[in-house]
Amino acid sequence: MAKLYFRYGTVGSAKTLNLLAVAHAYNQQNKRVLVIKPALDDRFGRETVKSRAGLERDADLLVHPESRLDPKAFEGVNCVLVDEAQFLSADLVDQLRRISCDLDIPIICYGLRTDFRTDLFSGSRRLFELADEISEVKTTCFFCDSRALFNLKFANGKPTREGPAIDLGAEEKYLPACARCYSGHFS
């Protein structure tokens, strides 16, 4: 039976690079992969799934929080890969769960665990509740060699916990931080 997977990590932990490597491996075996991306993530182009290492491909399906997934779109698919899964609605995660079970297709979701305030994203929360397997894509803290756990946001060069929970950006705005370094920036 196929599973629903959640692979989470901080900003800069190579989640999208991992997704693209998995897509490449399936393609090398002449297997069909369906890549899903939330439409709101337009940092590298509306349809582009791009890693910071420079690898990229187009998403096959863009979703919105209210999207309804048509099971027919998944016929002949060997694996579904979801980028930026933290931005999914709980309902979309429920739909992915059903597709995984009903159509026996493995679905691997990649995303952040928490926002820059250390609060769970709704998509991540639902994935923690429903995923068959959960694993961390690890990276080190930008400031020391400890394991990064949090996403430290910067505004005007200073750490902040202000602003909307969804505030798109990359290295110019967010850095991976361990618990000690994250807390130390606010003490």
Query: Mapped to the 3 state alphabet, what secondary structure does the chain carry?
Result: CCCEEEEECCCCCCHHHHHHHHHHHHHHCCCCEEEEEECCCCCCCCCEEECCCCCEEECCEEECCCCCCCHHHHCCCCEEEECCHHHCCHHHHHHHHHHHHHHCCCEEEEECCECCCCCECHHHHHHHHHCCEEEECCCECCCCCCECCEEEEEECCEEECCCCCCCCCCCCCEEEECHHHHHHCCC
Same domain assignment for residues 93 and 170: no
From 84, 129, 162, 172, the catalytic residue: 84
Instruction: For residue 29, give its domain range.
Output: 4-136
Residue 98 within a domain:
yes
Confidence of residue 160 (pLDDT cuts 50, 70, 90): confident
Residue 101 within a domain:
yes
Give the per-residue pLDDT at 170: 55
Same domain assignment for residues 52 and 80: yes
Give the per-residue pLDDT at 157: 82
Same domain assignment for residues 157 and 123: no
Confidence of residue 171 (pLDDT cuts 50, 70, 90): low
Domain count along the chain: 2
Residue 33 CA to residue 64 CA, distance in Å, equals: 20
Higher pLDDT, 7 or 160: 7
Same domain assignment for residues 99 and 175: no
Residue 141 within a domain:
no
The one-letter code for the residue type at 45 is: G
Residue 60 within a domain:
yes
Is 84 part of the annotated catalytic residue set? yes
Contact 118, 112 (CB under 8 A): no
Higher pLDDT, 21 or 56: 21
Residue 144 within a domain:
no
The angle formed by the CA atoms of residues 83, 89 and 92, to the nearest 5 degrees, is 75
Give the per-residue pLDDT at 168: 60
Average pLDDT, the chain: 91
CATH number at residue 57: 3.40.50.300
Contact 121, 169 (CB under 8 A): no
Average pLDDT, stretch 39-53?
A: 77
- Which tens digits make up the pLDDT trace of 80-112? 999 999 999 999 999 999 999 999 999 999 999
Contact 3, 127 (CB under 8 A): no
pTM of the model: 0.92
Residue 25 within a domain:
yes
Same domain assignment for residues 26 and 60: yes
